């Protein structure tokens, strides 16, 4: 049973003269935006637009206040240590690259090990591979079980290498697997490593407290949690950020600029060189307000309801194979149908007005382990309901029929 009824808040889900009705099942890639977020961004540009931190006039004061209020909302929403430990970035990818390039270059040396996992998105793989190559360090990838969970025995084996950092996601974008962070993080810290959690798929869906979980670095993207594109954050222990060197140089991040050398501002400014995405931060703040109004527990319950409904309905379709674990799974459903190529499935579904994702989901190491090139993926969020699942299932039945004629 699904419990939320918020579709009407999302203008893009209503058909209009230019576009037919859409059943949007690709929220793991990017979510749609409620009117409340669109209005907040528009209002910012209409009444408060200005650069931040550098003007004495009223508009600059208003913009700065809104920007810093958004930082406080993020801190509270993810249970950060304090708002000095929230750095606005373009999103998850930039936040992870910030850590790899700043913390990584100072702390990972030749002969060291960096641990990543086969469940991760390329954004949490490639920056670590690049760092390891630069520094002469080794990358150790933790394996997954056949049903798509992190292999905890293999993680324990990797921790025996005494890695400098372990980078892993909370929720897998390809399978929906929820990693048991309360069990894993103490093991990582006992091994003497720092932990970076990619929260791109957890921040939108699971109530999280970075400080309760004892996470050192947490990265997420606003656009996956009803916020605008081009805004996200790195949430970190302030004492780690204090010790780190800036990732980019420019305006705003300095204390004093000499002819040959400069000194840097305190955090968070030290890591926010240049003009930030103020309207994006304001929109992200509005998205957080919206999510809080619904309640993260209610969101999780709603998505779990839809996922189970979908698993049950799709199990009626002969030849449909679902990837990923039965339990501890967020609202992501990766599947294959007979030997129909996932791109063909996506094309047939598109003709029915259903948007799903087909491909490797930026998880090629995981796809290799699953023995496939790609999967079809439906991912659910607050605005999906039972009728969306039924349209998806009917579309898949149609695809099966079309391709059985073709065979």
Out of 34, 80, 85, 91, which residue is the one contacting ligand PLP (CB under 6 A)? 91
Which one, 62 or 360, has the nearer CB to ligand PLP?
Answer: 360
Q: How far apart are CA 377 and CA 121, in angstroms?
A: 15
Backbone angles phi, psi at 254, to 5 degrees: -110, 160
Task: Compute CA 236 distance to the chain's CA centroid, rounded to the nearest angstrom.
Answer: 16
Asked whether the beta carbons of 391 and 13 are under 8 A apart, the reply is no
Q: Does 31 bind ligand PLP (CB under 6 A)?
A: no
Binding mask 143-182 for ligand PLP (x = CB under 6 A): --------------------------x---x---------
Phi-psi region of 274 (alpha: psi -120 to 50; beta: other; left: phi over 0): left
Which one, 221 or 374, has the nearer CB to ligand PLP?
Answer: 221
In the complex, the smallest distance separating the C-beta of residue 118 from ligand PLP, rounded to whole angstroms, is 13
Q: Does 127 bind ligand PLP (CB under 6 A)?
A: no
Which one, 198 or 216, has the nearer CB to ligand PLP?
Answer: 198
**DSSP labels, 108-153:** --TT-EEEEETTS-GGGTHHHHHHHHHHT-EEEEEPB-TTS-B-HH
Q: Angle at the Cα of 29 (from 223 to 236), degrees rounded to 5?
A: 50
Q: How many CB atoms lie within 10 A of CB 57?
A: 8
Q: Does 121 bind ligand PLP (CB under 6 A)?
A: yes
In the complex, the smallest distance separating the C-beta of residue 236 from ligand PLP, rounded to whole angstroms, is 17
In the complex, the smallest distance separating the C-beta of residue 139 from ligand PLP, rounded to whole angstroms, is 17
Count of residues near ligand PLP by CB under 6 A: 14
In the complex, the smallest distance separating the C-beta of residue 360 from ligand PLP, rounded to whole angstroms, is 12
Which one, 40 or 168, has the nearer CB to ligand PLP?
Answer: 168
Q: Which of 362, 370, 376, 382 is catalytic?
A: 362
Q: Does 375 bind ligand PLP (CB under 6 A)?
A: no
In the complex, the smallest distance separating the C-beta of residue 309 from ligand PLP, rounded to whole angstroms, is 23
ω before 333 within 30° of 0 (cis)? no
In the complex, the smallest distance separating the C-beta of residue 336 from ligand PLP, rounded to whole angstroms, is 20
Out of 9, 26, 112, 198, which residue is the one contacting ligand PLP (CB under 6 A)? 198
Q: How far apart are CA 357 and CA 171, in angstroms?
A: 17
In the complex, the smallest distance separating the C-beta of residue 253 from ligand PLP, rounded to whole angstroms, is 21
Asked whether the beta carbons of 342 and 404 are under 8 A apart, the reply is no
Q: Does 102 bind ligand PLP (CB under 6 A)?
A: no
Burial of 79 (0-12, 13-18, 19+ CB in 10 A): middle
Which one, 137 or 233, has the nearer CB to ligand PLP?
Answer: 233
Q: Does 97 bind ligand PLP (CB under 6 A)?
A: no
Q: Does 221 bind ligand PLP (CB under 6 A)?
A: yes
Angle between helices 92-101 and 126-135 (to 10 degrees): 10
Q: How many CB atoms lie within 10 A of CB 172?
A: 32
Active site residue 362: yes
Out of 31, 83, 92, 101, which residue is the one contacting ligand PLP (CB under 6 A)? 92
Q: Does 75 bind ligand PLP (CB under 6 A)?
A: no
Length of the chain: 407
In this chain, which stretch among 141-149, 198-206, 343-351, 383-391 interacts with ligand PLP, using CB under 6 A? 198-206
137's CB contacts (< 8 A; 6+ apart) are 108, 109, 110, 111, 112, 113, 114, 131, 164
Q: Does 366 bind ligand PLP (CB under 6 A)?
A: no
Asked whether the beta carbons of 100 and 153 are under 8 A apart, the reply is no
CA quadruple 358, 360, 366, 369: dihedral sign: positive
In this chain, which stretch among 12-20, 186-194, 196-204, 270-278 interacts with ligand PLP, using CB under 6 A? 196-204
Active-site residues, by number, are 362
List residues binding ligand PLP (CB under 6 A). Answer: 28-29, 91-93, 121, 123-124, 169, 173, 198, 200-201, 221
């Amino acid at each position: 049973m699904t419990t939320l009824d918020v579709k009407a808040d999302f203008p893009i889900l209503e058909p209009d003269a230019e576009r037919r009705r859409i059943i949007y099942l690709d929220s793991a890639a990017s979510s749609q935006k409620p009117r409340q977020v669109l209005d907040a961004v528009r209002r910012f540009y209409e009444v408060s637009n200005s650069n931040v931190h550098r003007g004495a006039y009223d508009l600059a004061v208003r913009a700065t206040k809104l920007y810093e209020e958004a930082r406080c909302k993020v801190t509270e929403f993810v249970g950060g240590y304090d708002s000095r430990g929230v750095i606005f970035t373009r999103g998850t990818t930039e936040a992870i690259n910030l850590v790899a390039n700043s913390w990584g270059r100072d702390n990972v040396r030749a002969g060291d090990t960096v641990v990543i996992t086969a469940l991760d998105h390329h954004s949490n793989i490639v920056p670590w591979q690049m760092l390891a190559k630069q520094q002469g360090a080794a990358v150790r990838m933790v394996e997954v079980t056949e049903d798509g969970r992190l292999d905890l025995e293999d993680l324990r084996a990797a921790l025996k290498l005494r890695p400098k950092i372990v980078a892993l996601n909370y929720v897998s974008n390809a399978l929906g697997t929820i990693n048991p962070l309360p069990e894993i993080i103490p093991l990582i810290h006992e091994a003497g490593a720092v932990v970076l959690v990619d929260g791109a798929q957890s921040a939108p869906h699971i109530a999280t407290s970075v400080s309760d979980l004892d996470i050192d670095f947490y990265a997420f993207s606003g656009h996956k949690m009803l916020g605008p594109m081009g805004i996200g954050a790195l949430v970190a222990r302030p004492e780690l950020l204090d010790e780190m060197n800036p990732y980019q140089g420019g305006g705003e991040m300095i204390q004093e600029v000499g002819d040959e050398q400069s000194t840097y501002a305190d955090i968070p400014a030290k890591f926010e060189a240049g003009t930030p995405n103020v309207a994006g931060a304001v929109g992200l703040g509005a998205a957080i307000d919206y999510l809080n109004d619904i309640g993260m527990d209610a969101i999780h319950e709603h998505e779990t309801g839809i996922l189970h409904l979908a698993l049950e309905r799709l199990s009626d379709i002969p030849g449909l194979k679902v990837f990923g674990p039965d339990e501890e799974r967020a609202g992501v459903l990766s599947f294959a149908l007979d030997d129909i190529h996932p791109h063909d499935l996506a094309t047939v579904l598109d003709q029915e007005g259903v948007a799903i994702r087909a491909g490797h989901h930026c998880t090629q190491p995981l796809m290799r382990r699953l023995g496939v090139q790609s999967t079809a993926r439906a991912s659910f969020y607050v605005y999906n309901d039972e009728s969306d699942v039924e349209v998806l299932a009917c579309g898949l039945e149609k695809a099966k029929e079309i391709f059985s004629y073709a065979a």
